[in-house]
Structure 1
């Protein structure tokens, strides 16, 4: 069975709608009426929310709940915040999760259902970089970001990140409606946020930190380099919170956690020569592979064979079984075709490659994408006007509270 739960990203999807709702309450606006203009977005229980002037969602790429707990001594500001573990989306990868965070929709609805997925005309493309040639981007990323709702209630929506992320396909897809304010260094981004919040106007802000994720991919999350970036983020967060106006609520969360995979834990898919002969293309990423089969191949039979070969260290499912499991949320047919005929999701601490992969990708240490507790768990930490409030319970109870809790069959050996 694919390891589905009652969360699978539903709480991640509810963070920004809940933050906008709390700002709406502060402005004397009915939050339910505002969010009902975005069908499918979770509606939080307004009775549990505080009324605030401004809301800041800080997204620290790659800061899993387990990663933070293991290194909390290096992050005293984060460690003292009230927090709980929630779960990210499936696959547990950046493009899918960031899109859920800014649209309030799960991957089966928004369409960026993995790292390397199939476009009907362009073939396999990555959701982070390969946007050239995608003319109808609203059909590719199918959900509207929620920043327009923030503006409609009278708040100023802003996105704060590195200058390199100010433009590009993914930025356009997930940050449309927000004013982009650049800050090269982490301290620059927090300084931009501090200045905005001291101005007195209602603000809904998305602040993105990607340095930890980059360090994890290159060195591993257990490396000294990763710890140094954690300490730097924590120090800037601490300074930011010390000067935070009293009517501002802050959430700190992440898109996924990280596991370290060494060279000896790399598995070559084409080492199974007879099985790989049925594979036309390999999508996904090393811990969540999508196998697109040759014409005429029997996906059920291929999945059974892969389960016999790799079922002790991976979850194996056909596309239909993966969709039926509910792990992606409700999936429309055009989005389903973006994932492989057979899915291989790492169960053990391994990563799946083929000899056709870029050799540089085999140098990656920190990885994510699959369903392990460490990859799937992310923090929901509260600060400012949200600390001690019912915000976390409002997120947990948002309607629909279990967008993807359905159980379904997958391929076991």
Structure 2
């Protein structure tokens, strides 16, 4: 392991991913098994969380996107979420919505499901995607125009059709019929909500009227969106989080005798100063060594290097970015089990690229297309190891 990266882990500047700690994968697998997915893989962490949650005829899993522990800690002690906090679990790497939601959909680690971040490079198809909207990163045209589909892009399938509990996904109104959303629930029923209280009402009605066991997934995106825009520590984010807290308290209280409600998140947030947003523009010599501009996520950029250009790329990267980023080869990432236990699948290894840059702090490194500059970026960010 690189000396500076090792020091950052040892001193607590960065959190080292480890499948040996309770984590999001354990939680997803425990809920899937409790909802009747008998072939879902389970380890010690999954079994522990299954015991902690316990069986229930009606399970409700709430994912509050962007609700890290730094935000939970700002809630009043008597708030619903903080007063009922049972344990902390670790996210996965990369700590980004695209990778985490694909884990929530499949129960697999990123080294298997091969979604590497918001911008997932697809070398097998010769393009870089913005994976959740399922579009080309640069043209913004649907990947379906290239003849691609969920079956061709996502190697792991959603587990929802294998449940014995009846699944329902409740997501923001613009999402239920998108390609990714349909994929992520395996084609099982999904509905949208315009306002969170309406989504809560939908779930309450669904569970109260159910005549068979149910599994309901509620996805809340507003906290993440506002944290990006304002920064996670902005007073507007705390006000929104207080509203979300109250609505989830209402959900739990109304269904307390009928359902178990499990609340978690996919990642937290950090605020990135303008001076800490490092840039690569068109014409940069480092691009000459790459098959495509850096993909993945700005705190953890991924580099697909042209054949025979590795030494050139490493030299250019180290000269400019070594003070703030550690450069890890895909083989080193695999040996460190950064993206999950065991070996990466071949498709995942190709998509993660030849090297991953890891920010040692709240920094970003991003390729900016013509006309775009760091000052236009959001205040909030994630996907690193802070």
Q: CA, structure 1 residues 82+216, in 2 after alignment: closer, same or farther (shift >3 Å)?
A: closer
- Whether 1:92 and 2:95 are equivalent positions in the alignment is yes
Indicate the structure whose relative CO is greater, using CA pairs within 8 Å and at least 6 residues apart.
1
The equivalent residue for 1:111 is: 114
1:292 correspondence with 2:304: yes
Match of 1:252 among 257, 263, 270: 263
Taking structure 2 as the reference length, what is the TM-score of the superposition? 0.84
The residue matched to 1:85 in structure 2 has which SS? coil
Structure-2 change in CA distance of 1:357 and 1:366 (3 Å)? farther
| Shift in Å, 1:74 | 8.6
Shift of 1:141: 1.4
1:210 aligned onto 2:214: no
Q: Deviations over 1:101-149 (max 9, x none)?
A: 1211011111212221222224111111124335342242122212112
1:173 is displaced (CA, Å) by 2.4
Deviations along 1:319-350, one digit per CA (max 9) or x if unpaired, are 22223321112311122111232221211221
1:115-134 → structure 2 map (5 Å cutoff)? 115-119=118-122, 120-129=124-133, 130=135, 131-132=143-144, 133=146
Q: Structure 1 residues 122, 40: CA separation in 2 closer, same or farther (over 3 Å shift)? A: farther
| Deviating more after overlay: 79-88 vs 309-318 | 309-318
User: Is the CA contact (8 Å cut-off) linking 2:18 and 2:338 kept in structure 1?
Assistant: no
Q: Alpha-carbon deviations, 1:38-88, whole Å to 9, x = none? A: 46898636666522111111001111112221x112981111113322111
Query: Is 2:379 the partner of 1:369?
Result: no
| Other-structure match for 2:157 | 144
Aligned 8 A contact 2:182 2:188 in 1: no
Point out where structure 2 has 5 or more consecutive residues left out of the alignment: 10-15, 136-142
Per the TM alignment, residue 314 of structure 1 is displaced from its structure 2 partner at its CA by: 1.6
Q: Which residue of structure 2 aligns with residue 401 of structure 1?
A: none
Partner SS state of residue 293, structure 1: coil
Note closer, same or farther for the CA distance 1:75–1:293 as it changes in structure 2 (3 Å cut): farther
Instruction: Indicate how the Cα distance of structure 1 residues 75 and 139 shifts in structure 2: closer, same or farther if over 3 A, else same.
Output: farther
Query: How far did 1:12 drift?
Result: 0.9
Tell me, yes or no, if structure 1 residue 236 matches structure 2 residue 247.
Answer: yes
Give the structure 2 partner of residue 165 of structure 1: 175
Quote how far apart the aligned CAs of 1:263 are: 1.5
Q: For residue 351 of structure 2, give the secondary structure of its aligned residue in structure 1.
A: coil
State the TM-score, normalized to the length of structure 1.
0.78
Residue of structure 1 equivalent to 2:190:
180
In the alignment, the residues of structure 2 paired with residue 8 and residue 276 of structure 1 have an alpha-carbon distance, to the nearest angstrom, of 37
Picking from 46, 63, 68, the partner of 1:64 is 68
Shift in CA distance, 185/9, structure 1 to aligned 2, threshold 3 Å: farther
Consecutive unaligned residues of structure 1, counting only runs of 5 or more, are 25-33, 373-413
2:322 is matched with 311
Inter-partner Cα distance in structure 2 for 1:265 and 1:303? 21
For the residue of structure 2 that corresponds to 1:256, the secondary structure is: coil
Q: Give the superposed CA RMSD.
A: 2.7
Q: Classify 1:112/1:199 alpha carbon distance in 2 versus 1 (closer, same or farther; 3 Å).
A: same
More deviation in 106-115 or 207-216? Answer: 106-115
Q: How far did residue 247 of structure 1 move?
A: 3.9
| 1:74 to 1:141, Cα distance in 2 relative to 1, 3 A | farther
State how far apart, in whole Å, the 2-side matches of 1:123 and 1:271 are: 17
Report if aligned partners of 2:121, 2:296 keep a CA contact under 8 Å in 1.
Answer: no
